[in-house]
Structure 1
Amino acid sequence: MESASKETASRCTKEKVTASRCTTDKEKGAHIFEIAGYSLKKDMGVDKFVRSTIFTVGGYDWSIRFYPKGTYESPEGCMVICLELMSSNAEVRTFFQLGLVKHETGLVGSMFSQNNKVFSFKTRNNRQYHLFILTSSLETKPVKYLHNDLLKIRCDMTVIKESEVYETVGHSEIEVPPSDIMEHLAKLLDSEEEADVTFNVGGETFQAHKIFLAMRSPVFKAELFGPMKEKKMRRLTVKDIQPAVFKALLHFIYTDSLPDFDDLEGDDNCEMIRHLLVAADKYAMDRLKLMCQNILGKSLDVENVATTLALADQHNCDKLKDVCIEFIASSDKMDDVVASKGYANLKRSCPSVLIDALEKRSRPRIS
């Protein structure tokens, strides 16, 4: 009996558990350094550079140097981008991506650098990182990285801050993963599970869910649930939209993002965005319409500005129209704009908007 009592008491004795935790914080930041008038700077000489303003990430100061003709230490035929730690007596561990920005997407090109490095102010080599870029790789494909003679350098940084160890009580913190609802909605669209409406678009069929379409577009809501439509309607024919454009439209409806157009470059990519803008206007999807305007506004050149201005005028894109007019007004290549294919169409279909552009260009500028 005494032995049983001791066993019970042993089982009921509380075990004291202590715990501690080591945490490592990080801070993310990005800096974009714009080189306006690149053609005027590219021959400034070896070891000559232009420097960005000093920017702060993780409590440390940084700057970017750009050497158009490279340095004495760089390979021949290379330009150099240099990321430099400016904070004195500092040692910092970082992850960063550094390179030229594609003007169509605003992202750093995949050909550039993604590294981790410990920066130390003690020596020159340790407080700087040099990225060598073949000048020919930029100038043979200027449409990707040069826009109106503007070159953009971007650095995305993650600074690892000092670790901290502290005592914790129990294990009450439960990690919650980031939201993955958009991933699930994309899979729902791809799987076509429980789809209740089919669209015939240019000979191709697309299945979707009425409630999602109605939630995202008042035009779809009227077509699918309006008083003039039958409740059981399951097939619709869509005219004047290409299948690839309609597929991109459905992707945006379900995920609130544009699909990757990796197989499209330059004019083909712009043409897809133009068609998507028209579709967004047709279905009264204002956010998508603004996103398309933003992309087209960043892709203007003397060849496409007239076409883009006509599109903006036809679809009530006031912000994009203002950007196009400002581009024409400030351009020193008006003869090239007039010679473009889109200019004749603009002159014929939208004479009033062309007059606005020419009048703005003729006004004296205040310096």
Structure 2
Amino acid sequence: MGNTSSSWAKRPPVSTTSSVFTTEATTAVHNFVVKNYSLLDGVGADVCVTSSTFSVGGYDWCINFFPGGDARAPAGYAAAFLHLCGGAPATGVMAKFTLSVRKQDGKVHRDCSPLIITGTFESAAMGWGNVRIIKKSKLREDCFTIRCDLAVIQNPIQEEMLPN
């Protein structure tokens, strides 16, 4: 066998470079409390109640809750959507969020079907959500919360590092 240490000594030094891609987000939680839900029983599909407007990442948002469901979904389900209402130039706003139904104790309703949604809001008044967030028959409590966990994704930054 030859001397391996001498073969390494004759090789030219290896150049190493690196780069970094950073994604940043502004995060927040909004709780939309729905009281006296039983009074909404019987409203038709596509009738919504709306949360107050809240600001995250320089944009205004609201939650629209459809107690009678969304016409695009099977009958018997309530629906919830996150809507971009405005703020900074509201085009191409990327967000990652979850909408969930919470009981009065703050725990996720066991019959809730929360989804983690990542989407790009192309214009103000655009919404993303869940047309089957929960079966209406499972909403036995007269007071519950629709919780939105929202991360507004800022412009990603790519940095090239100097050679090591």
TM-score class, shorter-chain normalisation, is 0.7 to 0.9
Q: Which residue of 1 aligns with 2:150?
A: 157
Q: CA deviation at 1:164?
A: 0.5
What TM-score do the two structures reach when normalised by structure 2? 0.73
- The structure with the larger Rg is 1
Q: Which residue of 1 aligns with 2:121?
A: 120
For 2:13 and 2:35, the matched residues in 1 are separated by 70
Q: CA deviation at 1:169?
A: 5.3
Contact 1:60–1:86 (8 Å) recurs in 2: yes
Paired AA for residue 153 in structure 1: I
Which of 1 and 2 has higher RCO (CA within 8 Å, sep 6+)? Answer: 2
For 2:19 and 2:91, the matched residues in 1 are separated by 28
- 1:91-240 paired onto structure 2 within 5 Å: 91-104=92-105, 106-109=106-109, 111-122=112-123, 127-132=127-132, 133-138=134-139, 142=140, 146=141, 149-168=142-161
Percent identical among aligned pairs is 30
Q: Could you report, residue by residue, the CA deviation over 1:103-142 in whole angstroms, capped at 9, with x for unpaired residues? A: 22x1333532122321323497x6332332211122xxx3
For 1:69 and 1:44, the matched residues in 2 are separated by 5
For 1:17 and 1:159, the matched residues in 2 are separated by 34
Q: Could you report, residue by residue, the CA deviation over 1:45-64 in whole angstroms, capped at 9, with x for unpaired residues? A: 33221100111223332210
Q: Could you report, residue by residue, the CA deviation over 1:30-57 in whole angstroms, capped at 9, with x for unpaired residues? A: 1100112212223343322110011122
Q: Which is richer in strand?
A: 2
For 1:109 and 1:92, the matched residues in 2 are separated by 29
Q: CA deviation at 1:168?
A: 3.6
What TM-score do the two structures reach when normalised by structure 1? 0.36
For 2:70 and 2:18, the matched residues in 1 are separated by 53
- Residue 21 of structure 1 pairs with residue 20 of structure 2: yes
For 1:17 and 1:153, the matched residues in 2 are separated by 50
For 1:25 and 1:40, the matched residues in 2 are separated by 42
Paired AA for residue 152 in structure 2: V
RMSD of aligned alpha carbons: 2.9
Q: Could you report, residue by residue, the CA deviation over 1:278-297 in whole angstroms, capped at 9, with x for unpaired residues? A: xxxxxxxxxxxxxxxxxxxx
For 1:81 and 1:127, the matched residues in 2 are separated by 10
For 1:14 and 1:168, the matched residues in 2 are separated by 19
Please give the secondary structure, in 2, of the residue aligned with 1:162. Answer: coil
Going from structure 1 to structure 2, the CA distance change for 1:159 and 1:52 (only over 3 Å counts) comes to same
Paired AA for residue 131 in structure 1: V
What are the ranges of 5 or more consecutive residues in structure 2 without an aligned counterpart? 1-8
For 1:121 and 1:167, the matched residues in 2 are separated by 30
- Residue 56 of structure 1 pairs with residue 59 of structure 2: no
Paired AA for residue 63 in structure 2: I
- 1:206-355 paired onto structure 2 within 5 Å: none
Q: Which residue of 1 aligns with 2:3?
A: none
Contact 1:85–1:121 (8 Å) recurs in 2: no
Contact 2:77–2:131 (8 Å) recurs in 1: no
For 2:61 and 2:31, the matched residues in 1 are separated by 12
Q: Which is richer in helix?
A: 1
Q: Which residue of 2 aligns with 1:89?
A: 90
What are the ranges of 5 or more consecutive residues in structure 1 without an aligned counterpart? 1-9, 172-367
Q: Which residue of 2 aligns with 1:221?
A: none
Aligned residues: 151
Contact 1:19–1:170 (8 Å) recurs in 2: yes
